[in-house]
A and B are shown apart, each in its own frame.
Chain A
Amino acid sequence: MDLLIEGLKKAIEMLISGDPEIFEITWLTLRVSLTAVLISTFIGIPAGVILGLTSFPGRRFVLILINIGMGLPPVVAGLWITMLLWRSGPLGSFSLLYSPFAIIMAQILVSLPIIIGLTCSAFQQMDEKMLLQIKALGATRLQTVRLLVREVKIAILAAVIAGFGRVIAEVGAAMMVGGNIRGETRILTTSIVMEVSKGNFDVALALSFLLMSLAFIITFLLTNLQQRNRVR
């Protein structure tokens, strides 16, 4: 209990003191996580819509891969991205390993299947008659998708929140592809791991409070957006 209070005190102290390193780490965490979630959302929602509403050869196999991807261990994602960006890897010439870009790639890899999978489920659960009703109203394909997205917006935002949750909590892949380099790729989760390994539990706790506050604010905003105009 004392440790928790100490951690909280330390977090307040760190914020009041305006430690530039803390702000830099927090800002990088926010930038990297939001970029990864945004990219995953822009790719994941259309992919989920296609998987949920259409049928094509191999669709079930793709769905199996997506569902496996939903439980992809972050270290495995980190390993794949490392191999891809390694000097001798296919993208080695771009020197992207140990950069925020590499962390974003790893985070996309772990959050994209969640957003695709949950969006696809939302569309599959939709009453087929709703699709017929929208068609009967004379909608084009694009208008149909837009109307359907509005109908399942709660489920889609739940998918985005789940994707964000995965990204903000991610540490294994970020450590592997980012390297936790001070001033370059150090984010809150990797800092916490480092401080714990150094035995600085109060600092680690303070950072964890910062991380949780960040997660709370983003999730609060997304949940408000999700529940807006809800009648039940």
Chain B
Amino acid sequence: MNPMIRLENIQYTNKDRTILSVPSLSITQGEILGMMGPNGAGKSTLIKILSCLQAPTGGKLYYKNAELPISRIPLEQRRKWAVVLQQTLIFDTTVFQNVAAGLKIRKVPRSQIKQKVDFWLEQFGISHLAKKNAHQLSGGEAQRVNLARALILDPEVLYLDEPFTALDYPTKVKLLKDFKAIIKQTKTTTIFVSHDVTEIQFMCDRLAILMDGHIVQIGSTANVLNNPNQYASPFIHDMSLHIE
């Protein structure tokens, strides 16, 4: 199968220090690729580079086999993707306006915006909050707004940087179930960064382990978690202990 996204020798250095070095990485259409690694391993940097929010210092990025100009990605290209960042950043306006933000940016007609927002609010079970100011929401509600705001854009690729952190367990479980169902239904290619093994096990088809800016192991989620190689093993072991 042709890869949706392909990286070739992607490098990100800062003052001679290598933050990220990825010789090759391919992500196929409809796949959910998980990324794990300790703090500072380069996960967030990789997400930013993949979503073109940050330019790498070297390497090539291909999208549907076409090379992208990494230093200046066209806006139209960036608008095919959606990103949910680690921190829930909600605008100081109503839930409806927050979810509609990306559509307004794309100058979608008002009648379509209303229809789409109503649909996605319904999908995430937050229709009753439409008129509420988003700054008054609980953590779980705000995260649903954040995810709805990304998915309403009907993205070809969805980048998620620890979107469920800081949620309590019951909220997380409910949201994960709803979210996975939506992702599978829309067949959205997803790159999912998380610190939580259970989230990764539940969500991801494949898993990449990042250590010190390098992908040390990549494969099916079950295989990586059950048979980690010598580089990934200490991290997986620590995570497993953490769960126990």
Q: Which residues of A contact B (CB under 8 A)?
A: 127, 129-130, 132-133, 135-140, 143, 147, 150-151, 229, 231-232
Count A-B contacts at CB 8 Å: 50
Distance between Cα atoms of A132 and B48 in the complex (Å): 9
Known contacts A132-B85, A231-B133; A140 and B75 CB within 8 A of each other: yes
Which residues of chain A come closer than 8 Å to B75, judged between CB atoms?
Answer: 138, 140
Cβ 8 A contact of A229, one of B89, B102, B133: B133
Inter-chain contact B83/A139, CB cutoff 8 Å:
no
Inter-chain contact B93/A130, CB cutoff 8 Å:
no
The interface size bin for chain B is: 20 to 34
Inter-chain contact A133/B133, CB cutoff 8 Å:
no
Cβ 8 A contact of A137, one of B92, B93, B102: B102
Which residues of chain A come closer than 8 Å to B51, judged between CB atoms?
Answer: 136
Flag whether B17 is at the interface (Cβ < 8 A): no
Q: Assuming A129-B87, A132-B85, A150-B92, what are 10 further A-B pairs, CB within 8 angstroms? A: A130-B89, A132-B48, A132-B53, A137-B105, A143-B105, A150-B91, A150-B93, A151-B91, A151-B92, A231-B135
Cβ 8 A contact of B89, one of A129, A150, A231: A129
Inter-chain contact B78/A138, CB cutoff 8 Å:
yes
Residue of A nearest to B132 (CB): A231
Main secondary structure of the interface of A (DSSP, over half): helix
CB distance from A4 to the nearest CB of B (A): 43
The 4 closest A-B pairs by CB, nearest first: A136-B83, A138-B79, A133-B89, A231-B133
Which residues of chain B come closer than 8 Å to A151, judged between CB atoms?
Answer: 91-92
Binary interface encoding of chain B residues 69-93 relative to chain A, with 1 for a CB under 8 A from any of its CBs, else 0:
0000001001100110111010111
Flag whether B24 is at the interface (Cβ < 8 A): no
Residue of A nearest to B107 (CB): A143
Inter-chain contact A138/B91, CB cutoff 8 Å:
no
Which residues of chain B come closer than 8 Å to A139, judged between CB atoms?
Answer: 105
Distance between Cα atoms of A180 and B82 in the complex (Å): 61
Distance between Cα atoms of A132 and B53 in the complex (Å): 7
